[in-house]
Chain A
Amino acid sequence: SSDRESGGGGEGGGAAQSGGTMVFGATGDPAMLDPAFGSDGETFRVSRQIFEGLLGNELGGTDPVPELAEDWEVSEDGLEYTFNLQQGVQFHDGTQFNAEAVCFNFDRWYNFEGLATSPSASYYYQAVFGGFASTPDTPSIYQSCEATDENTAVIRLTQVTSKFPAALALPAFSIQSPTALQEYDADNLSGAEDALTYPEYALEHPTGTGPFRFESWDRGNGRVTLVRNEEYWGEPALLDELIIRTIPDGNTRRQELQAGSIDGYDFVAPADYQSLQDEGLQVLVRDPFNILYLGFNGGNVPGTSANPALQDPRVRQAIAHAIDRDTIVSSLLPEGAEAAIEFMPPTVDGYAEDVTTYDHDPDRARQLLQEAGAEGTTLRFYYPTEVSRPYLPDPAAMFQVISQNLTDAGFTIEPVALPWNPDYLNAVQSGQADIHLLGWTGDYNDAYNFIGTFFAEASNNQASAEFGAFSAPEIFQALARADQEPDAATRTRLYQEANRLIMDYLPGVPISHSPPALVVAENVSGLEPSPLTAEVFSTVSISE
């Protein structure tokens, strides 16, 4: 059967017409090219073309679908997953893809040592699986991987989690060539003084099974070149070549597309949607799969001092009533954006229609504030600079409008602006802000990926520092129960319950779900926008 498959691949390669070269404008260079160490969008944008995981995402959707695994079964207790693998798949270096390769990758992650175990290296592994073999103190939900035969891999977990297996669609869990990983010393992260040095594998030899092969990375010119994988096991890519070019400045990206130097770009400013369309360019709007919120500081992070007024639910409610979400959505966010009533988008299972809502009502806000005796409360309002996120295209504008709303309701705002990464994230996640703007784009379709990330119980019975380590046992319990519930319907109900609890408690104000967009030139076809911002370019073609 493998003969047939590879023959087919060869045929496909021969039959594919010359699809030309596409140049796509990205906002930054990838950090490196080994997705196991990646956590940022630009790294994943490249990874997704080179690599595939056991699962992938539904084209244009958020649901996990089989990719390198043809299908899978879960044991009754939800702890054992059996994956039946695609046959006749080869890595770009010619290595055969099989169950051993799969287990090699799982074992690789589990056995990371030293610097590879630092959060800056293997963030997603730690977020999904917890600890490593080398860190017995931190429990890991991964137990083992077994290649029961050439095409069957069995993965055992120590604990049930709703994240699994959906999380396997994340590029971080792409299956990479064991030969190449070994040959190029993939796990050998070294570090001098204050930075990680990546091994040769991650810089020069990423080897996967995907529709494109890595060709070159020209850092000086900010260009990653991928070429079609002629041996691809599935439908081969139409493009001969895909070049991902770094253009940090949004205006430059737009002008370059207008000038025809690039064929498309990501992070389109909402203001430009219309004018780009008028020029005949295609603006591809993704379905919103994100949440923007204004986080409050619960005031329990040691070593920080939040405004104590925020402990008072009435003050929190006042803030929620002060914000004019409808105007924000209509004026600052692209068409298709929605005001949010809870901390996850409606398309995710577990969304509750009937949570407590807080309408725009400045008078009510003032009244609540008065009741709480907190008129004129000064709030340190953190917002990020130099960044455009799918859920927050223009942080400065958002900040200004919300801050004006709050001022109108009787608050005093003390603005703090910090560059996004790492300053802003560090400050906000260590509980330094009174209120802050942040959001989240779902990694896969799972409620826990949203509200669990925000409000699950961390150490010493408190929520994460981002929300000021507030303590709400009923929310924690509800989330934990839901996460460990193997039955899907029950789980959904439990998550809905959790959402209601959260919106009653009001640890922050959910603001909006915003549809980010890509734009491509007129002659580009076949690019399917993905709500996860996980576009795959193999279906894209470009005409003269």
Chain B
Amino acid sequence: MTRAGEPLLQVQGLQVHFPIKRGVFVDRTVGHVRAVDGVDLAIDRGTTYGLVGESGCGKSTLGRAVLRLVEPTAGQVLFDGTDVASLRGEALRTMRRRMQMVFQDPLGSLDPRQDVESLLSEPLRAHGLGGGRAGIATRVRELLDAVGLPTAALRRYPHEFSGGQRQRIGIARAISLEPDLLIADEPVSALDVSVQAQVVNLLEELQQRLGLTYLVIAHDLAVVRHISDVVGVMYLGSLVEQAPSGALYDEPLHPYTRALMSAVPVPDPVVEERRERILLAGDLPSPADPPSGCRFHTRCPWRQETRCDDEVPVLRELAPGHLVSCHWAEEIRDGALQPRSAEEVAATQGVSVRATGVEAIESDALVQGLDEPIERR
């Protein structure tokens, strides 16, 4: 199990498309939401890979696809050499023991009817670990200790804890199976800053102690940069840039990364005043109908007349470990191309940009009304 040289997790050409269904009797597929559309990445053992991007760009879906919580449409997920996508039934269940997940909403991810003890012992029992009743009990206490919760918490229910504590419970549950890989989907974005810092510290501490490998998903670039070794930037289902976190900050190559970076406010007036701002035009286009060519061309301040609109850029390695998918990355880096303002971009692109979330929920009032308790006579 120790093929040290190899990355722990390798994702190749991963695609997840959700069918959009509509129909009279039987639902026909009329299109696809390309939530993840061809992602390659690799995570080395013991390191942290941070994934950032705007809401709806497919980060969560990617994370879930790795765990096979959603079925990938295409591509491979190699975990420690095994293709997760090919596993079935019991084999998959066993494999999941080694990959765990921490969720964004700490309350929602805990069954409100379970007390902490039952929450923490359930995975152990499901996998036949922990060695009997007493073993499980000790293990559960260890776990609580590891995440800094007192044993008094055992008898309590999720709603009785504060947000940070709930997230600790989520983390304790995730590490209960001693996984190799921990996927954290926005683990701190629902928390207050002070609590957020506590959880970030806890994650880092656990990584050191247990030698965990992390895939951390967040939309907060600062958090990602803080805890990641390598950062990947996603836009509309694909990676646009990937680099060691220092390199990415020092020299973002992709126009989107630059814009993102410039948009993150820094709690320091001095920096804020100096900072150049690249404003993007409009919103994220719908993943059901992504733009042609470079996905970003509709909002890109550096968009060129050639190539951008029709040629899909590939992820190129510009510097060691620094990959970027932009036709003009070098020119932009070298300052050969100058950005245009958001207004100009908007003007050239028109307003064809359809926002996400426009899809109306088709509501069957007959069905919905009746799902409520009702009186009939």
Q: Assess A/B contact in the complex (Cβ within 8 A).
A: no
Residues of chain A at the chain B interface (Cβ within 8 Å): none
**Chain B interface (Cβ < 8 Å from any Cβ of A):** none
